[in-house]
Amino acid sequence: MFYSGELMWKERDEAIHLVADALPVQNWVQLTGKVLGLLSLLIILMVLMIATGIGFQAAHGYFDFEIELYLLALFVEIFLFVVLIWVVCLISQVLV
């Protein structure tokens, strides 16, 4: 919720919303850029979680890493749930 709020209200906080609204682009172009930015942030956070887990296992002497399992667990099971929550947060920010 925090990241979606920061992303959607950044122009208003910096007082450049009048300039951004006067740009000769469609509203969906600006919204698509924000959506892709937040989606890439979620992907980066998932990759960092995988790297942290591997680092934690290596620090404790376990070196039989199962990268396929990490990718499957995080990007298939958890990532879809996080994206659904993110969509609800983004829609609430757009409607507000």
Q: 3-state SS of the chain: helix, strand, coil percent to 5?
A: 80, 0, 20
**What's the rounded Cα separation, in Å, for the pair 7 and 38?**
8
Structure tokens at 75: 């990007």
Q: Look at residue 4 in the predicted model and tell me its pLDDT.
A: 72
Per-residue pLDDT of the chain (96 residues; tens, 9 = 90+): 777 777 777 777 777 777 877 878 887 888 888 888 888 888 998 899 999 999 999 999 999 998 899 888 888 888 888 888 888 888 887 787
Counting other chains too, the contacts that 79-82 makes at CB distance below 8 Å and 24 or more residues apart are 79/42, 79/46, 82/42, 82/46
Q: Look at residue 52 in the predicted model and tell me its pLDDT.
A: 94
Which residues are CB-neighbours of 58 under 8 A, at least 6 positions away?
none
